[in-house]
């Protein structure tokens, strides 16, 4: 799995228990998955269609650095299915795993549109 992004847990990211608020982490992950999909499919009109079971395995505290990793599971016709993990960058302890997230490529009317992609591409190879 390639770990793309680092996030720093700040006071405003905490729940009343003093640990990382789960909704904040999910928002970070959803944004990462969306950006990854936009870059792969070369279309800014994409949405999150489905997320599988979300497993919070451990927590994080203020000052921790979180990294978010993404793997492609499947290029569909209009969709891209991704696997995701967030972990503590220093300890490598897994915080959350999401086995399947399906993102859908849309046209200007918001309808699913074939993206024509079949494999991961690297931006440097497109330039
Ligand atoms: C110019 C500057 C711009 C800058 C730009 C920067 C942006 C930088 C920030 C990014 C930000 C983005 C933000 C995104 C993250 C949200 O927040 S998206 C918001 C939340 N999601 C939504 O609102 C989606 C609401 N749902 C829908 O609109 C409709 O369900 C959809 C997505 C159009 C799909 O409609 P549908 O009738 O289900 O379509 P259908 O053809 O049956 O299925 C489409 C695909 O989904 C798959 N699918 C359907 N149901 C399921 C299911 N339950 N499970 C798995 N797969 C499924 C199908 O298999 C199909 O895949 P393919 O076989 O074609 O590959």
- In the reported structure, the alpha carbon of residue 92 is separated from the centroid of ligand 1 by a whole-number distance in angstroms of 31
pLDDT tens digit string along 22-44?
999 999 999 999 999 999 999 99
Of 23, 49, 52, the one to substitute when testing ligand 1's pocket (max ligand atoms within 8 A of C-beta) is 49
Exposed (0-12), middle (13-18) or buried (19+): which is 56, by Cβ within 10 Å? middle
Q: How many CA atoms lie within 13 A of 43 on its CB side?
A: 20
d(CA 76, CA 123): 20
- In this structure, whether the domain defined by 2-125 belongs to CATH 3.90.550.10 is answered with no
d(CA 19, CA 29): 17
- Which residue, judged by its Cα, is nearest atom 27 of ligand 1? 49
Q: Give the predicted TM-score (pTM) of the model.
A: 0.92
The ranges of the chain with pLDDT < 70 are: none
Can you give the pLDDT at residue 4? 82
> Kind and range of the H or E element at 86?
strand 79-88
């Amino acid at each position: 799995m390639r770990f793309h992004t680092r996030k720093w847990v700040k006071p405003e990211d905490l729940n009343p228990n003093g640990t990382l608020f789960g909704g904040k982490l999910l928002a970070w992950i959803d944004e990462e998955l969306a950006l990854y999909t936009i870059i792969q499919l070369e279309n800014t009109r994409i949405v999150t269609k489905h997320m599988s079971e979300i497993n919070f395995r451990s927590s994080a505290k203020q000052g921790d650095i979180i990294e978010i990793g993404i793997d492609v599971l499947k290029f569909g016709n209009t969709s891209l299915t991704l696997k995701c993990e967030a972990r503590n960058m220093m300890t490598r302890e897994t915080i959350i795993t999401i086995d399947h997230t399906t993102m859908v490529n849309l046209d200007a009317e918001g309808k699913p549109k074939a993206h024509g992609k079949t494999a991961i591409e690297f931006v440097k190879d497109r330039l």
